Structure 1
Amino acid sequence: MNPFPPRADAAPPLRLLVADDNPVVRAGLTALLSGRADTTVVAEATDGREAYEAALRHRPDVILLDVRMPEIDGISALPHLVRLAPVMMLTYSHETETVREALRLGAGGYLVHGEFTTEQLVRAVRDVREGRPHVTPGAAKALLEGIKSSASAHVDPQHPPILRESPTKTLSHMQPSMGQSSRSRYRLSTREAEIMDLIASGMTNQQIAATCFISEKTVKNHINRIFAKLQTTTRSQAAAKWLGVA
């Protein structure tokens, strides 16, 4: 008989579904997460279809989903799986478009293998279960590179902007960039300006939270202050003012 029975108020372990076509990865995650008191793997799947069927049958707390799988891949299955449980992407894929598409389709987090410890994985799973987005550095870098690429796409290399500056003026006298001038005009903090850039790029609150490593509640607080400073009430109005087209 155990002389130290578990506390009556101990939280039940998180019930997880692991979907990955690689049997080594799948077995490793299952052994890792089932050997703890706070997590357990209730089902495994090798593709998107199996993941959906297993989620219907077992109703896990969180689904750990790979991107590249045969038959139905993770991205294709994602819109259906998020209706059943929060989904954490757990994969080797960190291409910009893949990360952005996964978050756009509702993934609560994006972890790249090799960029987290066991404790960080468990903490990320709990965060996603509670609605707090979580991404590893590789995924965050991919998101930021995507934003930079989108901005660069609007510049025509055949027709660079003409700087009508006097030859006697130095670089320090040139007009600051749009973001810098807007930030000064509206008196936004560095963090508020960063978030406003992400809003203008079309990101949702969840995506912004994941990119900036903050909670969605914190994002909303920043946005409320931004709206007040820009004297706007919608994201589109704020973006138009920020980009100088309103």
Structure 2
Amino acid sequence: MTASATRRQTVRVALADDNAVVRMGVRSLLATAEDIDVVGEASNGVEAVALVRRACPDVMLLDVRMPRQDGVLTASEIAEQTAVIMLTYSESPEIIAAAVRAGARGYLVHGHFDEDELLGAVRMAARGMGTFSAQAVRALSNPTPGRAALALRYGLSEREADIMQLIAQGAANREIAAELFIAEKTVKNHINRIFTKLQANNRGHAVALWLALS
């Protein structure tokens, strides 16, 4: 095999976790594989987004709970540029569901996978396939509440729930206005109230929160 062929098969990986010890441990595990190259580290979600844009990794390993920006919101921003695997201690069904809907191709819980499973998950993600821990599989198999329950949870009116559902489907304000036969300015006012009720920082954050239980 030529050197160029070897380089083409190498999986370029980046990792983000606010715990430096965890990052060191994960990096050490990845370093045991000749076909995996760690191209960068980040300590929060904002840094992770910048790292993906700068280094263009094939796979990004993301913790869920990080300062400045959490892993779910980060996944929603980078999932189109890189294969995302959540690598975390969180076993919350809501977070697992939100991560998957944000675009994560895998979800592994610390303490429930070994070195070979991690390396295998990275290789599979690079090929477009997913790997999920038993905890994630159980969470994704459980029934989840409908839109009415979601609206009740967040205190949204029926109209706000309609708008939030359209936002989650990717509709722009102009499209929402046309669909609901209201003015675009009215849509913007509703969205501002929705963000307040969800305590969302932006559109992507709101969608992540809404889909967490949908």
Q: What band does the TM-score fall into relative to the shorter chain?
A: 0.5 to 0.7
- Note the C-alpha offset of 1:132: 1.3
8 Å Cα contact 2:33-2:119 kept in structure 1? no
Q: Which residue of 2 aligns with 1:127?
A: 124
Matched, 1:88 2:103: no
Deviations 1:71-123 (A, max 9, x none): 11101111111122110111111111100011011111111111111111111
Matched, 1:118 2:115: yes
For structure 1, list consecutive stretches of 5 or more residues without a partner in the other structure.
1-6, 155-246
Q: Distance in 2 between matches of 1:17 and 1:33?
A: 10
Q: Distance in 2 between matches of 1:13 and 1:31?
A: 17
Q: Distance in 2 between matches of 1:20 and 1:83?
A: 20
Give 3-state SS (helix, strand or coil) of 1:51's partner.
helix
Q: Distance in 2 between matches of 1:54 and 1:86?
A: 14
Matched, 1:13 2:21: no
What residue identity is the alignment partner of 2:100? L
Deviations 1:6-48 (A, max 9, x none): x324453211001000111101111221232011211000111
Normalised to the residue count of structure 1, the TM-score between the two structures is 0.55
Identity of aligned residues (%): 41
Q: 2:49 aligns with which of 48, 52, 64?
A: 52
What residue identity is the alignment partner of 1:62? V
Matched, 1:139 2:127: no
Give 3-state SS (helix, strand or coil) of 2:9's partner.
coil
Q: Distance in 1 between matches of 2:14 and 2:120?
A: 16
Q: Which has the larger radius of gyration?
A: 1
Deviations 1:144-186 (A, max 9, x none): 2x31x649x99xxxxxxxxxxxxxxxxxxxxxxxxxxxxxxxx
Q: Which residue of 2 aligns with 1:79?
A: 76
What residue identity is the alignment partner of 1:87? V
Q: Distance in 2 between matches of 1:127 and 1:113?
A: 18
Q: Which residue of 1 aligns with 2:104?
A: 107
Q: Distance in 1 between matches of 2:32 and 2:121?
A: 17
Matched, 1:65 2:62: yes
What residue identity is the alignment partner of 1:49? V
What residue identity is the alignment partner of 1:95? S
Higher relative contact order (CA 8 A, sep 6+): 2
Runs of 4+ displaced beyond 3 Å: 9-12
Q: Greater share of helix residues, 1 or 2?
A: 2
1:16-27 to 2 correspondence within 5 Å? 16-27=13-24
Q: Which residue of 2 aligns with 1:39?
A: 36
